[in-house]
Chain A
């Protein structure tokens, strides 16, 4: 079963702005799915329509087989939403925010309290349960929205830039948490501008731009499309003489750093071997830029043509 199936989704706002011109998406059940696109591409509008915060102009949306035009209540029951902007009552205690949301989904107060305790503890917010929401830090507020979205244990969790403005330590703990939730069976759709985040977490990816789906495929097959990757090699000792390896484009960045391009037909083993033969030891290495980022830029540029 598809967790989310979108066909030819269109949205024209009052004033004539066409936010979506024909978005198609298929998100398999249990997937960790990245929805990417530049600012204004239509990601948040798409999410808004799926979660019924935005009225669509055309097309169909099905959530676990429930069409939002004919079976909205059932579709809504399947979804948990973590929006981009903070959207809770700043003057309400943390635990009440989570419990009220549970109530709106028909959870009695005892069950809602137990769930609130579970998720607030997992997200490191239980100690703050009686604090007013406005007293929380930015990272805590984001985690509060995740706990709130999970209180009714949705089959589909949609996160719209959940780690924006969050420090790296909290971001990584959120990644671990989301991985765990996904492993337990929750389908996750993630929008993010951190492409490293999408590459690390997601199995499938869709890129939308100018209101269209530019690409929708498995992350691995997308990354295979890369014809060339650029690596930075950090050497153990400073270079005395620039090593030249036939067939490889290489340049010296500084006295202990080399930059090398590896095409799809080439491999790093040969580079390491040649460098070792020249008496050079590679201490560490990294991609010059995120692989997904390179593809993303290409696809978005192609979509604009």
Chain B
């Protein structure tokens, strides 16, 4: 395939992915907006109003970037894991496997679909947050980079999960037992400075901590982590996961007999 054909093939897959989640927006976009509105009401307004400021910011202002990023993480992951696993389950992944599309392009297509949903949901949650706080943007480019890169990373994680999944149960295990704990312990609702020294060090092995802080730096200008280090770690994870996903697809693991 020449470059133009590859672009067309990528676009076809991306359009299909976007159509898929927009066709069922009530299941894919709306729930995140409602859930996050509840977070703002309960943690932000009701409980947050009783708490001290963090880094000179009201608690509700402090948690907004993390909540937006949490919805981006969950939805990017969910989109790719469910889309690719469904494609395996219904066997229409074969449409892609028999085509001359290179494997890396198939991965990029699914990742772009995951990022698209992550951004749509992120935008929806950002819109909801504006009912509760005055939106801040300390550094727009870093905010967007943190959102898009995090979305790419978790789309890749979802893709790898879907490759290994043999049942629908398998695609809910990682989100329940890995993703949710890491997200909640990744500094969405608190600053790691508030933790004892031991738990601060433990938190440093949680990759989500770096993403939340990168997002927070972009929106509010405060971070527990050096922003360059945070970005370097996110990009390193993306490269590692992409390489692994490509290796799996090239070997045909989970998709070819």
Which residues 2-52 in A have Cβ within 8 Å of B in the complex? 13, 48, 51-52
Question: Is A96 part of the binding interface, using a Cβ–Cβ cutoff of 8 Å?
Answer: yes
Cross-chain contact B90 with A87 (CB below 8 angstroms): yes
Contacts of A72 in B (CB 8 A): 100
Which residues 83-139 in A have Cβ within 8 Å of B in the complex? 83, 85-92, 96, 99-109, 112
Q: State how many angstroms separate the Cβ of A53 from the closest Cβ of chain B.
A: 6
**Complex: how many Å from CA A106 to CA B99?**
9
Which candidate, B3-11, B34-42, B205-213, is the interface stretch facing chain A?
A: B3-11
Contacts of B94 in A (CB 8 A): 53, 81, 83, 87
Question: Is B97 part of the binding interface, using a Cβ–Cβ cutoff of 8 Å?
Answer: yes
Given A48-B257, A87-B91, A89-B92, A73–B102 Cβ distance below 8 Å?
A: yes
Contacts of B166 in A (CB 8 A): none
Q: State how many angstroms separate the Cβ of B162 from the closest Cβ of chain A.
A: 15
User: Which residue in B1, B13, B19, B98 is a CB contact (below 8 Å) of A81?
Assistant: B98
Contacts of B5 in A (CB 8 A): 105-106
**Complex: how many Å from CA A88 to CA B86?**
11
Question: Is B252 part of the binding interface, using a Cβ–Cβ cutoff of 8 Å?
Answer: yes
Contacts of A77 in B (CB 8 A): 1, 100
Given A100-B16, A103-B9, A87–B257 Cβ distance below 8 Å?
A: no
Cross-chain contact B90 with A96 (CB below 8 angstroms): no
Question: Is B95 part of the binding interface, using a Cβ–Cβ cutoff of 8 Å?
Answer: yes
**Complex: how many Å from CA A176 to CA B27?**
44
Which residues 99-147 in B have Cβ within 8 Å of A in the complex? 99-102
B interface: dominant SS: helix
**Complex: how many Å from CA A99 to CA B19?**
13
Cross-chain contact A96 with B19 (CB below 8 angstroms): yes
Cross-chain contact B257 with A104 (CB below 8 angstroms): no
Contacts of A48 in B (CB 8 A): 257
Question: Interface size on A (CB < 8 Å)?
Answer: 37
Cross-chain contact B1 with A90 (CB below 8 angstroms): no
Q: State how many angstroms separate the Cβ of B18 from the closest Cβ of chain A.
A: 12
Given A53-B256, A73-B1, A100–B90 Cβ distance below 8 Å?
A: no
Contacts of A81 in B (CB 8 A): 94, 98
In the complex formed, the residue of A with least CB distance to B86 is A89
Cross-chain contact A88 with B98 (CB below 8 angstroms): no
Contacts of A214 in B (CB 8 A): none
User: Which residue in B87, B91, B95 is a CB contact (below 8 Å) of A101?
Assistant: B95
Contacts of B102 in A (CB 8 A): 73
**Complex: how many Å from CA A179 to CA B221?**
69
Question: Is A193 part of the binding interface, using a Cβ–Cβ cutoff of 8 Å?
Answer: no
Question: Is A76 part of the binding interface, using a Cβ–Cβ cutoff of 8 Å?
Answer: yes
Given A13-B257, A55-B252, A104-B13, A76–B8 Cβ distance below 8 Å?
A: no
Question: Is A79 part of the binding interface, using a Cβ–Cβ cutoff of 8 Å?
Answer: yes
Given A73-B102, A76-B99, A106-B1, A85–B9 Cβ distance below 8 Å?
A: no
Contacts of B19 in A (CB 8 A): 96
Q: Which 9 A-B pairs have the closest CB atoms?
A: A103-B12, A106-B5, A104-B99, A87-B91, A76-B100, A73-B100, A89-B92, A77-B100, A51-B98
- 16 CB < 8 A contacts A-B: A13-B257, A54-B257, A73-B1, A87-B92, A88-B92, A89-B86, A91-B23, A96-B16, A103-B15, A104-B13, A104-B96, A106-B6, A106-B100, A108-B8, A109-B12, A148-B95
